[in-house]
Amino acid sequence: MAFGGKKCTVVRASASSDSPGSAAPIAPLQLKSPIGQFLSQILISHPHLVPAAVEQQLEQLQTDRDAEGHKEESSASGTELVLYRRIAEVKANERKNSLEEILYALVVQKFMDANVSLIPTINPAASDSSGRVDVWPSHDGKLEQLHSPEAYEMIQNHLALILGNRLGDPNAVAQINKLRVGQVYAASVMYGYFLKRVDRRFQLEKAMKILPQALDRDEGSVQEEEAIGEKRTASGVQAAESHPEEVSSWAAGFPAGDFGKGIKPSRLRNYVMSFDADTLQRYASVRSKEAVSIIEKHTEALFGRPEIIITPEGTVDSSKDELITISFGGLKRLILEAVTFGSFLWDVESFVDSSTCWDANLDLFLSYVCPSS
């Protein structure tokens, strides 16, 4: 069945002797809702059927919501109405959780389609003999192929801003604050989400041959490349590349001058420079609360819940911060996965939106691919 096709297929989960219950989880975040657990079983046994199973579950969620809407119109008043509204709130929250886990299952399925395993929960106790936590496979080449050439140029700049000259030294090892790594991971997910949105618009205009004329000339000067960073920061785009000075404090002994080097001109960056502030802000925002929640939950599942202690003076006590030993090659893999996660999240959000109503598909296309300024 095509991803996003309308034809309905009934999917049922079944136990498989080839998938023992003791198998390692396929993603850091474990799904807890009935729909999430159902999709988890499908991911293990028949991952290619996940889109069909999602359409089936979305239709059921829509049916349940419509049925509750009819009940509300005919419900009694008084105490009974208050009780009904409370029950409706609980069910609405359950549907929200289910929708979050549907989005997450679709993202995981896209990684599985690309034959890329998600990084498991980072646990210092599971490090190798040298103490390094990055015992996962690289997959850098596979992750690169999941992005357009123009988008990957921007991803390389993102990596350069964060890792600096250490990008070319993947075997170098450092002890880094795990909380800080988690913050950069989440910011990179947001960056990947933003990048996918602008790249889709760029590729569309490129195919239609309506790109701004300036992009048909040279790639641009270094000054133009610096201007894009200033414009994005002023517009409130919260990405790790906007704050390379924060990343430079990950490990002691790395001078700030080592970070942010190696930024190259990019056609897509010059294209983003042509956006006005309102359009840029619109593209930098995540469309749904469910997607924001998934970013938070996935990052917490990967790095753990941070223990933040406030001192009597009102400052954050960093004495109990957990340090992890990781190579810069491992950091690159983390950031590449995060950017790709954000890109996939944009894709699956669009799929869920278009699956519920075909009439909304055109509105989605007009609103998010070619938004009005």
Any idea what the Cα angle at residue 34 is, between residues 32 and 39, rounded to 5°? 85
* Per-residue confidence (pLDDT) for residue 23, from 0 to 100: 61
Rounded to whole angstroms, the Cα distance separating 252 from 237 reads: 27
Q: How far out from the chain centre does Cα 7 lie? A: 28
* Per-residue confidence (pLDDT) for residue 52, from 0 to 100: 94
Rounded to whole angstroms, the Cα distance separating 30 from 120 reads: 11
173-177 and 316-317: which strand pairing?
unpaired
Average pLDDT for 78-100: 86
Rounded to whole angstroms, the Cα distance separating 53 from 343 reads: 22
Count the residues in the chain. 373
Rounded to whole angstroms, the Cα distance separating 151 from 196 reads: 8
Dihedral sign (CA 121, 122, 126, 129): positive
Q: What is the DSSP letter of 316?
A: E
Q: Which residues of 327-336 are buried (b: 16+ CB within 10 A; e: fewer)?
A: bbbbbbbbbb
| Closest residue by Cα to residue 159 from 75, 263, 27, 24 | 263
Mean pLDDT, the chain, as a whole number? 79
* Per-residue confidence (pLDDT) for residue 76, from 0 to 100: 56
Q: Please identify which residue in the block is written with the tokens 């799929």.
A: 351
| Closest residue by Cα to residue 173 from 117, 110, 214, 129 | 129
Cβ atoms of residues 317 and 193 within 8 Å: no
Q: Which two tokens stand for residue 61?
A: 């969620």
Q: Is 209 left (phi over 0), alpha (psi -120 to 50) or beta?
A: left
Helix (H, G, I), strand (E, B) or coil at 175: strand
Q: What is the DSSP letter of 31?
A: P
Q: Of the given ranges (68-72, 177-181, 295-299, 310-314), which has the lowest mean pLDDT?
A: 68-72
Per cent of the chain over pLDDT 70 is 72
Supply the Cα-derived Rg of the chain in whole angstroms: 23
Rounded to whole angstroms, the Cα distance separating 65 from 69 reads: 6
| pLDDT over 60 at 369, yes or no | no
> pLDDT per residue over 282-306, tens digit each?
998 999 999 999 999 999 999 998 7
| pLDDT over 90 at 331, yes or no | yes
> pLDDT per residue over 180-209, tens digit each?
999 999 999 999 999 999 999 999 999 999
